[in-house]
Structure 1
């Protein structure tokens, strides 16, 4: 995430008004266009990026991946422009060396070369976690929202917990793995559960309690450091933000913009609740985990568990509840029309996972799915 989040006066001032600053990290796979197999060419792609695209690029845990990040944004139009430009630049750089940049949550075919950038931290992770760290590559989208008060950030994470399964369901984009349909809309979510520090964000009464819990997990060896907190929402270890990290990377810029706007509005909404003295709901961890599992399996095409009630409901009922909840914040930020239109489009076109499956059903060929995804990633096809 861009270091502008470190709290220059502009960022903090905007965060204290109604519109919160936000930014997005997107992870992408680099695939062979003919076979769909992951290509370990991340260093080569990054070396070809110049100017702002280079500044917004990052190495990832696999050489078959790269990460692109936006600067701090104040509105959805800025976000759209940065996402579109970075995807286009990275896609062009990948194409120049015979690879395709693909926005998909999990390795769809295979990763023949499980290589990674040379870094001592990566070596420590592999020594500590073994084969779990050598799973085929996974790609997510992380949304940062500016919350400069760390005590407030912990409380925001508490309040987000009931709604993150709904966000997850909207973002599923990884039904295929090892060349076959897994039966899950987000195989990335299921594969990630092998990491011991991942899952629903625990409830913490204070930042001190949060810090104590993280330190205990570091001592236990579950994490190497605070950067390995993989909970679905967390106070960022580096910036004064809340980071929501439950989403698969999304097929299109349009998809990413809608989810980023929705997450910003959700953080703004719960921040208002906290300042009004409303307590966060205390949820059973088992039920919250079930809600996330159901979101990973069904996405928005099936049913979701409401972690507040335990009731299983059509996914779109809970999406509508979420939209009603954040409607005032969306209106305040001028985002209501854009986000509502995006949600309506998802209602018609389906999630990224459903779009992939629809193409696969039509032709029975995963190659067609990957052609669609490569075009959708960089904008050469609209959907």
Structure 2
């Protein structure tokens, strides 16, 4: 008998945009009221009123996850239209956000007081994948093992090429913009729960973080759930793209658990090279080279995607996800990343109109 696959859930962040101008619309409160009552608990309040987060329940299979993602997107897109906006799965504010006022809570006010203009950047949207892990100690070890693969996941998910109405020359402006936060970036290599608690206490104690929840590393043990949370990717253009990312992330976690049980250590690399690999992933997407952190050199992006797929293939088979993920990778190879698809539309208004239609499914 084989163990059940780990559970999986996804949090998706979206922007509310005005179709004529494609500027952000602060209508999140109105959207929440317009949602079907049964789905309102899946809408989690965000820092900015032009931003919506929809979360799935805990799912056992990718098919179930796909259904819940589609359900969330369809309902939220319809509610947005009733509020005079479009729900758009894009990683960064593409044109402008006239109202930069944070949502009125003591915590959000404290974030603005602490971080100033960094916190008042236009809104950014990610795709956060949660994978069930039975203990905090194992979750920490899993995060260590995921480090060299997360730039590849990041490059696959790039979906924010626009900034201030023009092409930013980066595939993920979200990834570039988040570099300024002191508490975001690669997971710090930590060897025990005690190391983790000490690192968090020191960051809070020195004023870098307001509290433990602001350790917003690309991979981290969730502060709320018994999961590893991967938050490196832009929000995906379609539900199918999000399912592909979730399937690969779940397989990476399953592979890491097997490596840990077999006594295989996590790869260690210079921190500056790991940070550079993430920057390069945001810049290039899959359109050029990525950083091979094993050989410490540049490789064609798709070589590393194929290596990732090969590495997690046994876990995909165990989870029953092999066929779905293979089809998703074929689709990604044919259509390109979200950034590729937006640029191919020809101009910004057409790109965002297409993306709003894709978001709604």
Fold shared, TM-score > 0.5 on shorter chain? yes
SS at match of 1:210: helix
| Residue-pair matches, total | 360
Q: Is the 8 A contact 1:18 1:268 kept in 2?
A: no
Query: Do the aligned partners of 1:233 and 1:242 also contact (CA within 8 Å) in 2?
Result: yes
- 1:233-252 superposed matches below 5 A: 233-252=219-238
**Among candidates 75, 81, 90, match of residue 95 of structure 1:** 81
Deviations 1:305-328 (A, max 9, x none): 011221100000000000000000
**C-alpha distance in structure 2 between counterparts of 1:243 and 1:334, whole Å:** 21
Q: Deviating runs (4+, > 6 A) in structure 1?
A: none
- Quick check: 2:13–2:235 contact (8 Å CA) kept in 1? yes
- 8 Å CA contact 1:25–1:68 kept in 2: the answer is yes
Asked if 1:257 is matched to 2:243, the reply is yes
Point out where structure 2 has 5 or more consecutive residues left out of the alignment: none
Q: What TM-score, normalized to structure 1?
A: 0.93
Q: Following TM superposition, by how much is the alpha carbon of 1:51 offset from its aligned partner in structure 2, in angstroms?
A: 3.1
Cα deviation digits, residues 239-259 of structure 1 (max 9, x gap): 110000000001001100111
Whole-angstrom CA distance in 1 between matches of 2:218 and 2:264 = 22
Note if contact 1:40-1:115 (Cα within 8 Å) is conserved in structure 2: no
Q: Say which of 166, 169, 174 aligns to 2:152.
A: 166
Match of 1:367 in 2: 349
Partner residue of 1:116?
Answer: 102
Q: Secondary structure at the residue paired with 1:300?
A: coil
Please list, as runs of the form range in 1=range in 2, the aligned pairs for 1:324-363 lying within 5 A after superposition.
324-360=310-346
Shift of 1:148: 2.0
Deviation at 1:47, TM superposition (A): 1.5
Alignment of 1:173-322 (within 5 A): 173-322=159-308
The equivalent residue for 1:5 is none
For the Cα contact (< 8 Å) 2:15–2:50, is it kept in 1? yes
Q: Distance in 2 between matches of 1:45 and 1:83?
A: 17
> TM-score, normalising length from structure 2?
0.98
Distance 2:274 2:345 in 1: 32
Structure 1 residues 196-225: Cα deviation after superposition (integer angstroms, max 9, x where no partner): 101111100101101100110001111111
Asked if structure 1 preserves the Cα contact closer than 8 Å seen for 2:7 and 2:58, the reply is yes
Is the 1:53–1:90 Cα contact (8 Å) retained in structure 2? no
Map 1:11-90 to 2 at 5 A: 17-90=3-76
- Partner Cα distance (1:58, 1:242) in 2: 19
Offset, 1:301 = 1.3
- What is the aligned partner in structure 2 of residue 4 from structure 1? none
Cα distance in structure 1, aligned partners of 2:293 and 2:272: 9
Q: Is the 8 A contact 2:87 2:359 kept in 1?
A: yes
Q: 1:333 deviation in Å?
A: 1.0
Specify the alignment match of 1:154 in structure 2. 140
SS in 1 for 2:345: helix
- SS of 1:55's partner is helix
In the TM superposition, what is the alpha-carbon distance from 1:117 to its structure 2 partner?
Answer: 1.9
Structure 2 distance, partners of 1:153, 1:372, is 38
- What is the root-mean-square deviation in Å for CA atoms of aligned residues? 0.9
Q: Deviations over 1:253-281 (max 9, x none)?
A: 11001110110011000111001111111
